[in-house]
Chains A and B, each alone.
Chain A
Amino acid sequence: MIRSTHLPLLVTLATFILAYALCVYAYPSMLSTRVVANLLTDNAFLGIAAVGMTFVILSGGIDLSIGSVIAFTGVFLAVILRDTSVHPLIAFMLVLTITTAFGAAMGGLIHYLEMPPFIVTLAGMFLARGAAYVLSTESVPITHEFYDVLQGLYWKAPSGGRFRLIGGVMVLTFLVGVLVAHRTRFGQNVYALGGGGQTAKLMGSPIASTTVGIYAISGGLAGLAGIVFSLYTSAGYSLATVGVELDAIAAVVIGGTLLTGGYGYVAGTFFGILIMGLIQTYIVFDGTLSSWWTKIVIGGLLFAFIVLQKGLTWATQARRRAATGFADPS
């Protein structure tokens, strides 16, 4: 059954299908498993981070720190693998613990100090980026046989596309994300928080633990995205992934999630990521279009979706007004 709250998700899905159809119309060779596989591989780290961002935005917050956390994770892994003989798996555990705790700390500040998430995570952004710089200002290559093993893992589709591990990790993250958002109490509490913090509190929803949990997830997933990014680039560089938070926010919004919180779907973000990846792929295929069109088109999409959501909100309010006969007090 189609419900009005599904509309943004459907629009996203339709946009993706339309965009892909246009791409294939222009370049029939884009209809191949190779393109799809690359789409997943190239956007793996962004997708994973965007899952965390979806939770944050669903709760009505924002997390500006994820790009820095990804860079920090990469540098941390590179340095620790270079300077010590720790096994990468242990390093992964370590860095995930750090980034999750980092996110949780930001969540705690946001909840207990009642400060806007924007400014708290801005501090987190500087702190994580600074920590990455302090570890190393140069790009540190990662050469570990375990990395080679992980990078060598792929499933080759009949027509030649290589579905690599990191793409799989992203898809898995999305599946878990969907499950957590829609089928757990925590997920329901995230929506409740986004629907109205005061009301959620009156309904007995645990605001404090939810807020801390949301930013912990975002931090932890940024850490996972960092691991994936280090697998993708085989290096840790403190200047990498600058502005990834913006891409993640854009993907979430294009995925149909309301930036003011409360409405949206994790699955939508997946298609948001794919749409953005598709734009880039198209520009590569075209060859004559310049890369900056990516930003402009994404900005345009962002605007279109924000206006669409605003329109939907108005429509809902108008319907409620009609239903209650009462005016919006504002």
Chain B
Amino acid sequence: MTHNTGPVLHAKGISKFFPGTIALDDVELRLESGEVHALLGENGAGKSTLIKCLTGAYQRDGGTIRLDGQEVAPHSTAESQKLGIGTVYQEVNLLPNLTVAENLYLGRQPMRWGLVARRKMNAMARESLAGYGLDIDPAEPLTTYSVAIQQVVAVARAVEMSGKVLILDEPTASLDRDEVQLLFSVIRQLRERGLAVVFITHFLDQVFEISDRATILRNGRVVGTRVLADVTQKDVVTLMLGRQLEAQVHERKAAAAGGTLIEVEGLGKRGMLEPISLALREGEVVGLAGLLGSGRTETANLIFGAVQADQGRILLRGKEISVSNPREAVSHRFALCPEDRKTEGIVGDLSVRDNIILARQAAQGWMRPIPRAEVNEIAERYVKALDIRLASLDMPIRLLSGGNQQKALLARWLATNPDFLILDEPTRGIDVGAHAEIVALIEQLRADGMALLVASSELEELVAYSTRVVVLRDRRAVRELSGDLITPQNIVHAITEDDALPGEVA
């Protein structure tokens, strides 16, 4: 480490605490000028918290940030912009109701005689965007243009306002291949100009295509910084998922499954999920593996009717059924514990009791209330069976810890006696004890003859309970593993598309 050419930005010992959790623990990030630096990690690893600390959206609880050797402490995104740190977010963070030029120059419009010089502003915008290879009319509303162009506008704004460090937070999440290339050419230009670019994404291909180095976070800690030319995708995934992926021999439960329960045939939605087919038998757990954004959640949502598919069909015990909304899904005895507990799962201000009974009550209709004694019996039974820890059934569910909320949601769906249970990231963000209990529960439900579809980023966990694993990549099912082939290595192979899977059965 030489001192004359120090890093553009050096964050050291960054810590951030939230009530009950340590979001960042002694994190270090060095950015050199003229490099694209990827920031990697699964959900909850602390990427976005780190970004928010750098941009002043959060105040860090410890550590220092040096920009060109000067210590800085931005208190707002506006302040960090002035210092030289610009950010572009996944959902285009521009205003859809303004024109391209207005977005580009909001807050720093060229003025003449105390008024905004619109013509000049449009000319400046046109010139600026031409520098990125865009020839568009900046007086048009932003929404006239595709998301990729909007992203470039956002990048242009961030670069013009800041000019030292550019943070790209999942900028490619909703772009197609050509659009990604447009954005990448812009990023390459910026690298030439000497900017330090932080690139956050879940698409490893893209990381390897554009980035020079990567810092990998896990559970709020840095697990390593790597020069990407020296490592493989597999090394990176191993770091991200945090398992020594040694060969493990799992006792395969005899696939003592019953008859076929659900057949999904070519179910898909344009731009969201390529048509997927899978079949589940009673007493079977099918795992959905893949990195974030690979289509795990989308698969779950389409099957449950939370999002309406535009192609394909679903068969229940050989008969085609319509699942166009969750209500229909529930009537076919489907159940879904969604990934985002807080906005899609719990009803925060309702009591734990009401939350547990909610789906069953909704299925029965409001006219036929479940008698109070039965409600209590059901709630207490599941609280006991799932070991939900609470002070009282009357407390609002939002006061429970993450693991207990998750169990209460499981209880909500188990109370409907489902035949087919979809779990999306059932163990995310919950403590170790609850984790083990949920894994055991999945095992037990399977043994009782339920069909389960479990999407998870925890490979070991998937390996432990799945009778088959479907691996997704780029919103497409790429491989199905079963029996002894279900090992963390094979899943990682499929995720990273390493060919020549040892002993693959075609």
Inter-subunit contact A192/B271 (CB<8 Å): no
Instruction: Of the listed stretches B140-148, B241-249, B331-339, B415-423, name the one at the interface; the rest are far from the partner chain.
Output: B140-148
Contacts of A327 in B (CB 8 A): 269, 271-272, 307
Inter-subunit contact A204/B147 (CB<8 Å): no
Which residue from A194, A203, A319 sits with its C-beta under 8 Å from B106? A203
Contacts of A187 in B (CB 8 A): 116
Task: Tell me the dominant secondary structure on chain A's binding face.
Answer: helix
**Chain B interface residue number, banded:** 35 or more
A318 to chain B, nearest CB (A): 11
From 58 to 102 in chain B, residues with beta carbon under 8 angstroms from any chain A beta carbon are 76-78, 81, 87, 89, 93-98, 102
A319 to chain B, nearest CB (A): 7
Inter-subunit contact B271/A326 (CB<8 Å): yes
Inter-subunit contact B107/A185 (CB<8 Å): yes
**B109 contacts the other chain (Cβ, under 8 Å)?**
yes
B98 to chain A, nearest CB (A): 6
Give per-residue flags for A162-190: 1 if the beta carbon is below 8 A from chain B beta carbons, else 0. Answer: 00000000000000000100111101110
**B30 contacts the other chain (Cβ, under 8 Å)?**
no
Inter-subunit contact B271/A196 (CB<8 Å): no
Which of A3, A5, A187, A204 has the most chain B CB atoms closer than 10 A to its own CB? A204
**A323 contacts the other chain (Cβ, under 8 Å)?**
yes
Q: A320-B143, A325-B271 known; A203 and B115 CB under 8 Å?
A: no
Contacts of A130 in B (CB 8 A): none
Give per-residue flags for A16-50: 1 if the beta carbon is below 8 A from chain B beta carbons, else 0. Answer: 00000000000000000000000000000000000
Inter-subunit contact B93/A203 (CB<8 Å): yes
B204 to chain A, nearest CB (A): 21
Contacts of A200 in B (CB 8 A): 95, 106
**A195 contacts the other chain (Cβ, under 8 Å)?**
yes
Inter-subunit contact B95/A203 (CB<8 Å): yes
**Chain A interface residue number, banded:** 20 to 34
Inter-subunit contact B176/A204 (CB<8 Å): no
**A65 contacts the other chain (Cβ, under 8 Å)?**
no
Which residue from A3, A203, A319, A325 sits with its C-beta under 8 Å from B176? A325
Closest A residue by C-beta to B105: A188
Give per-residue flags for B121-146: 1 if the beta carbon is below 8 A from chain A beta carbons, else 0. Answer: 00000000000000000011101111
Closest B residue by C-beta to A317: B143
Inter-subunit contact A324/B146 (CB<8 Å): yes
B174 to chain A, nearest CB (A): 5
**B118 contacts the other chain (Cβ, under 8 Å)?**
yes
Q: A202-B77, A203-B93 known; A192 and B116 CB under 8 Å?
A: no
Closest A residue by C-beta to B161: A204
Inter-subunit contact B94/A194 (CB<8 Å): no
Q: When chains A and B are docked, how far (Å) is the Cα of A200 from the Cα of B76?
A: 13
Which residue from B78, B107, B140, B147 sits with its C-beta under 8 Å from A323? B147
Inter-subunit contact A324/B95 (CB<8 Å): no
Q: When chains A and B are docked, how far (Å) is the Cα of A325 from the Cα of B146?
A: 10
Which of A4, A196, A262, A325 has the most chain B CB atoms closer than 10 A to its own CB? A325
Inter-subunit contact A203/B271 (CB<8 Å): no
Contacts of B384 in A (CB 8 A): none
Which residue from B57, B98, B147, B272 sits with its C-beta under 8 Å from A195? B98
**A291 contacts the other chain (Cβ, under 8 Å)?**
no
Inter-subunit contact B98/A319 (CB<8 Å): no
Inter-subunit contact B272/A326 (CB<8 Å): yes
Closest A residue by C-beta to B115: A183
Which of A194, A262, A319, A326 has the most chain B CB atoms closer than 10 A to its own CB? A326
**A271 contacts the other chain (Cβ, under 8 Å)?**
no
Q: When chains A and B are docked, how far (Å) is the Cα of A164 from the Cα of B141?
A: 39
**B270 contacts the other chain (Cβ, under 8 Å)?**
yes
Closest B residue by C-beta to A200: B95
B314 to chain A, nearest CB (A): 18
Contacts of B174 in A (CB 8 A): 324-326
**A191 contacts the other chain (Cβ, under 8 Å)?**
yes
Q: When chains A and B are docked, how far (Å) is the Cα of A263 from the Cα of B89?
A: 23
Q: List 6 additional A-B contacts (Cβ < 8 Å) besides A188-B116, A324-B174, A325-B174.
A: A188-B102, A188-B106, A191-B97, A196-B96, A204-B107, A325-B271
7 of the cross-chain contacts (CB-CB < 8 Å) are A183-B115, A195-B95, A195-B98, A202-B87, A204-B76, A324-B146, A325-B176
Q: Which residues of B contact A (CB under 8 A)?
A: 57, 76-78, 81, 87, 89, 93-98, 102-103, 106-107, 109, 111, 114-116, 118, 139-141, 143-147, 157, 161, 174, 176, 269-272, 307
Q: Which 8 A-B pairs have the closest CB atoms?
A: A325-B271, A195-B95, A204-B78, A262-B97, A195-B97, A183-B115, A324-B147, A323-B146
